[in-house]
Structure 1
């Protein structure tokens, strides 16, 4: 092998080694961002799958409602065995009347006009579908917000464990320093006992922090669909408008729960019209064609009929009027629900902005507290070396620093959660708004495939037939 070929082979090996590590390296060792967590939650959420199925079921309600405007075609058949005998007189021989007859009938029925009752029901189910789509978007926001909370929860718990470990290391050093000072007579056994007590408390705190981390990991696994890898610090906070009034107005206009409530009001209004129209006459076109044939005989019959039938329920014990009043009451309830939902959304926006401002203030205050506590701790520890401070002073200063650092960890997590909660409160925490690299679920695809496409041609013909019927009744 010449030198050039060996050099090329060596370069190939050098390139292949990192690729092999990248392939076989466990996922936990790979960096994982907040966007990765959001993608995982969007793609593996069982709650989203459940509500997508509920949306498809609502789409089928539209197809079922449209079926009332389409022809009804059915068949009925039968096989009849007749037996017996007849005799014309006492002297005449008996003759058998046994026969086997088969018949089949084809029956068709088409609604021509019902004063819009069926069409109102179709429109009402369409509004229900639109409301269900908005409900799905609201569920999507909740899933993504929970993913943000799970991501920050793991980071917060991991930082808390790191702080506790560092605190345990410092307290171990302080305990050893107290023992060294005890050996030279600078402190008493009480100082050693205090340091031991603080060290035991630190071990207890570390155990609690590790337990909280395990719980955070389980929450992450549940929400995202896998164990957390090497979570990187979250990116910059999302861009949030500081105008609270504008945010409230935006939420009332575009929050999914408000839009869903609006569609529910429209569906209830159409239900009232449908029940009112149901008290009017119905005009239907009916037709049938049948064949009847007797075996072992030349007898057969073929018959058909076609006609227009009109009818109306005059009295049904008050059931029709009761249905109208019930629909009116439901419409009033939906209007009240829209009012309640709008106010709750406005309150949610205000709460989210308040939480965001509070988290920002806590984070800034904790930064100042950490700087002051660290300076105090370092000063107290140096003074203790000179005998001007006691061991308990050093331990107290260390505890103050630990508390400040823990407060900052919690405040940072709360800040990110509050920022994304603001987006959710204004209806902007969706996969499309966040531009997540996922295949977005098309909420209208199933509806177009089954509820619209199959009935479009017939609906057009039926509409023309309605217009012709209206002209005849003119």
Structure 2
């Protein structure tokens, strides 16, 4: 089966993905389908809600950087009691009440403020790409958890069915042994196979419990009668097509690019530390001597008011080599960012190729497993018929039953692997965020909205409401284990 993404088909990508998981964002009553599971994870997964809070914190860096270029207004007040005065200071007051206000306006900062703002904005873009990467990771984990539960439920059912078949075989063997048709060896073989099947069933049940717990951790509730997921959308025809899409759209790579851009502005910030700085400063002072100046002599003004306006130029001459060290440090960090970008690009390319190869391999395993299941079903039927006429023994039947169980389990696992690998390929190509998956039944989280909300705020006493939990706790989620109590496990038949 070929999967193509060429020409007009590429333009229909978002529509195809939306068809995969189009979901309303109202509070779902149960995550019974994949689209509901993804919607619930999108709303309540703490990794995702925490990443959104982290991005909101990063948004504030722009305002913090911009504040360094805005006027600084401060005021001071004082009250003084001169309890011990000089004997020769005849005009010294006994007390004074004063206040001072200062306004400092940065005029030129050597590029410090400009580059700080640009670096902060680049890191906001980096944070937005990082949030998209977190969405992709959470959705990939949710898909894997969903498919793990489906796979492990099916394997438990297969093993439970095998136990029932082997119990019937054991009873038949014991009956035939009583009439002398089989030997004690045949009965022992049936008992051994049944004991092994029961052990395998308990192992499968434990694995199902583990998968259910992982599902709870990622999605926020226990799975309940999960439905078969919808078909994946069209995937690229070759791994190189996947690589091209991934390099252009992968959010981890986009984040690394913005980190490199921010590092370039950091160099400008460091270089500003050795540039002149010019500020305009205005100061006003007020002093009231409360009638105690010069003993309150007539004609002596008891209130003093002054105002000063000045330009302050600071020219660094020598700072012990500190600015040069800061510049070299910023340059080295940009080099590190460049190399990190290359490393992430390599990882993205490898991830896209590996995901494509795994998807292709899983499809091949499905085809082979389906052939194996059909062949083993036919073989078991034939072995049972041959045993009835004496051409096969009981061990041949037991072996045929085990081969059929193994092939059915392999088919179930291959279907899970194919779906997870296909979605991982979508994620590697940067097409597994909420906006790509069609989670548009309600308002999606808008990472730009908070930036716009706080961008123009310059009031020092501004704040947001006290933080409250967004992600849901799973502490009170009821859990029913698939593994029965040891005391209730049926003892092997004697």
Q: What range describes the TM-score normalised by the shorter chain of this pair?
A: 0.7 to 0.9
C-alpha distance after superposition, 1:377-418 (max 9, x if no partner) = 011111112222110000000000000000001101111100
Alpha-carbon separation, structure 2, partners of 1:363 and 1:85: 99
Q: Name the counterpart of 1:355.
A: 358
For residue 241 of structure 1, report the CA deviation from its aligned partner. Answer: 1.6
- Displacement, 1:114? 2.1
C-alpha distance in 1 between matches for 2:363 and 2:194: 33
Cα separation, 1, equivalents of 2:147 and 2:320:
62
Distance, in Å, in 2 between the alignment partners of 1:440 and 1:224 is: 17
How far apart are the structure 2 equivalents of 1:232 and 1:390?
Answer: 41
- Against the structure 1 CA distance between its residues 339 and 85, is the aligned structure 2 distance closer, same or farther, given a 3 Å change threshold? closer
Segments of 5+ residues of structure 1 without an aligned counterpart are 1-26, 89-93, 456-474
Aligned-pair CA distance for 1:244: 1.7
SS in 2 for 1:296: coil
| Residues in 2 aligned to 1:41 and 1:155: alpha-carbon distance in whole angstroms | 18
CA positional deviation for 1:420? 0.4
Deviation of 1:250 after TM superposition, in Å, equals 1.4
**Other-structure match for 2:378:** 375
Task: Indicate how the Cα distance of structure 1 residues 289 and 181 shifts in structure 2: closer, same or farther if over 3 A, else same.
Answer: same
Q: Which residue does the alignment assign to 2:429?
A: 426
Larger Rg belongs to: 1
Tell me which residue corresponds to 1:439.
Answer: 443
Native 8 Å contact 2:31 2:37 kept in 1: no
How far 1:305 moved relative to its partner? 0.9
Equivalence map 1:119-198=2 (5 Å): 119-198=114-193
Worse overlay, 380-389 or 192-201: 380-389
Distance change (3 Å), C-alpha of 1:30 and 1:391: farther
> Could you report, residue by residue, the CA deviation over 1:136-163 in whole angstroms, capped at 9, with x for unpaired residues?
1111111110000110111011001100
TM-fit CA distance, 1:85? 6.4
Match of 1:451 among 450, 455, 463: 455
Could you say if the C-alpha distance between residues 320 and 296 of structure 1 is closer, same or farther in structure 2, counting changes exceeding 3 Å? Answer: same
Q: Which has the higher helix share?
A: 1
SS of equivalent residue, structure 2 residue 228: coil
Q: 2:250 is matched with which residue? A: 255
Structure with the bigger RCO (C-alpha within 8 Å, sep 6+) is: 2
- Preserved CA contact (<8 Å) 2:246 2:348: yes
For residue 451 of structure 1, report the CA deviation from its aligned partner: 2.2
Corresponding residue SS for 1:424:
helix
Query: Is 1:102 equivalent to 2:97 in the alignment?
Result: yes
Aligned residues of 2:30 and 2:36 also touching (Cα < 8 A): no
Q: Deviations over 1:91-125 (max 9, x none)?
A: xxx98955110110000101111232211111001
Q: 1:296 aligns with which of 273, 291, 300?
A: 291
Match of 1:117 among 82, 91, 112: 112
Measured at CA, do residues 114 and 205 of structure 1 come closer, stay the same or move farther in structure 2, by a change above 3 Å? Answer: same
Q: 1:85 to 1:355 in 2, by over 3 A?
A: closer
Structure 1 residue corresponding to 2:408, chosen from 405, 410, 431: 405
Work out which of the residue numbers 392, 396, 410 in structure 2 matches 1:393: 396
Structure-2 change in CA distance of 1:254 and 1:316 (3 Å): same
Q: Is the 8 A contact 1:362 1:411 kept in 2?
A: yes
**8 A contact 1:31–1:232 mirrored in 2:** no
Aligned to 1:73: 73
Shift of 1:283: 1.0
Give deviations 1:61-113, integer Å, cap 9, x for gaps: 1111000110000011111111456778xxxxx98955110110000101111
Distance 2:231 2:385 in 1: 38
RMSD: 2.1
Structure 1 residues 190-199 or 290-299, which shifts more? 290-299
